[in-house]
Amino acid sequence: MDLFPKALIDGYRTFRAQRLPTEQSRYRDLSVRGQAPETMVIGCCDSRVSPEVIFDAGPGELFVMRNIANLVPTYQPDSAAHGVSAALEFAVNVLKVKHIVVLGHAQCGGIRAFIDKIEPLSPGDFIGKWMAMFIKPGEIVEQREHESMQAFITRIEKAAVFRSLENLMTFPFVRNRVERGELQLHGAYFGVAEGSLFVLDRMAKEFRSVTQVLPSS
Ligand SMILES: [Zn+2]
């Protein structure tokens, strides 16, 4: 116990004293009935972008998969182990979630590393290989003329959401359920500094502010 972070022990005590009493019955109910979340969120590992916090979700409400830069690989049923694909398979085939939200965000370190090709992207490291699947063979990602570095980064952060949504459809079990109208795919983008949320209008291929599109009732 000595080496276990004190902040976590303190946090657990706060949870036990304040939150658990209000959610105890829900935890007991979920332990008996099992989980049945309607939404899967695929987000980034970034400590500032916690889906449960942003969407104010309680236990059992969100099935969350987080990885560097909220990326979904293409469907590759080979002999390798695929963590994201396994989570996706469970969410779609077992839990039968109705929605999958790919949640991108501002100031994404994974995207920044991808753009800067900085140290962690050396060939032997994991981040470089992980981020490499973001681009298609032969695809070139570069700053446009007259595009500021900030605008470029934001564009690529949002492109990661588009690419993940595109890759989701390469999974036969996802495509089947989407085509049958049993599953919907969504994109979102979180602005860390403002705590702002933008949702993807897939027809317009644009992210729109939730507060402007959907004023609170
Ligand atoms: Zn990130």
Ligand 1 midpoint to CA 153 (Å): 12
Ligand 1 midpoint to CA 193 (Å): 14
- pLDDT at residue 202, rounded to an integer: 86
% of the chain at pLDDT higher than 90: 80
In the three-class reduction of DSSP (H, G, I as helix; E, B as strand; rest coil), residue 206 is classed as strand
- pLDDT at residue 217, rounded to an integer: 57
Work out the mean pLDDT of the chain and round it to a whole number: 92
Sheet with 39-44, strands from edge to edge, namely: 62-67, 39-44, 99-105, 184-191, 196-201, 206-209
77 pLDDT band, cuts 50/70/90, is: very high
Ligand 1 midpoint to CA 50 (Å): 11
The rounded distance, in Å, linking the Cα atoms of 156 and 162 is 10
% of the chain at pLDDT higher than 70: 94
Ligand 1 midpoint to CA 92 (Å): 24
- pLDDT at residue 121, rounded to an integer: 59
Mean pLDDT (whole number) for 212-217 = 63
Ligand 1 midpoint to CA 179 (Å): 30
Ligand 1 midpoint to CA 58 (Å): 23
What angle do helix axes 149-168 and 109-116 make, rounded to 10 degrees?
Answer: 110
Ligand 1 midpoint to CA 66 (Å): 9
Ligand 1 midpoint to CA 5 (Å): 24
Ligand 1 midpoint to CA 184 (Å): 23
Distance of CA 52 to the CA centre of its chain: 11
6 pLDDT band, cuts 50/70/90, is: very high
Q: What are 97-139's pLDDT values in tens digits?
A: 999 999 999 999 999 988 887 555 566 678 888 888 888 888 8
Tell me which of 215 and 5 has the higher pLDDT: 5
Please give the C-alpha separations between residue 2 and each of 7, 9, 14, 16, 94, in angstroms, as whole numbers: 12, 11, 19, 20, 40
Ligand 1 midpoint to CA 190 (Å): 10
Ligand 1 midpoint to CA 202 (Å): 21
Q: What are 82-95's pLDDT values in tens digits?
A: 999 999 999 999 99
Residue 51: closest CA among 63, 36, 37, 68: 63
pTM for the full predicted model: 0.93
Q: Please, which residues have CB within 8 angstroms of residue 141's CB and are 6 or more apart in sequence?
A: 114, 115, 135, 156, 159
The rounded distance, in Å, linking the Cα atoms of 153 and 115 is 8
Q: What are 160-182's pLDDT values in tens digits?
A: 999 999 999 999 999 999 999 99
Name the amino acid, one letter, at 192: V
Burial label for 200, CB within 10 Å (0-12, 13-18, 19+), is buried
Ligand 1 midpoint to CA 195 (Å): 15
Ligand 1 midpoint to CA 11 (Å): 24
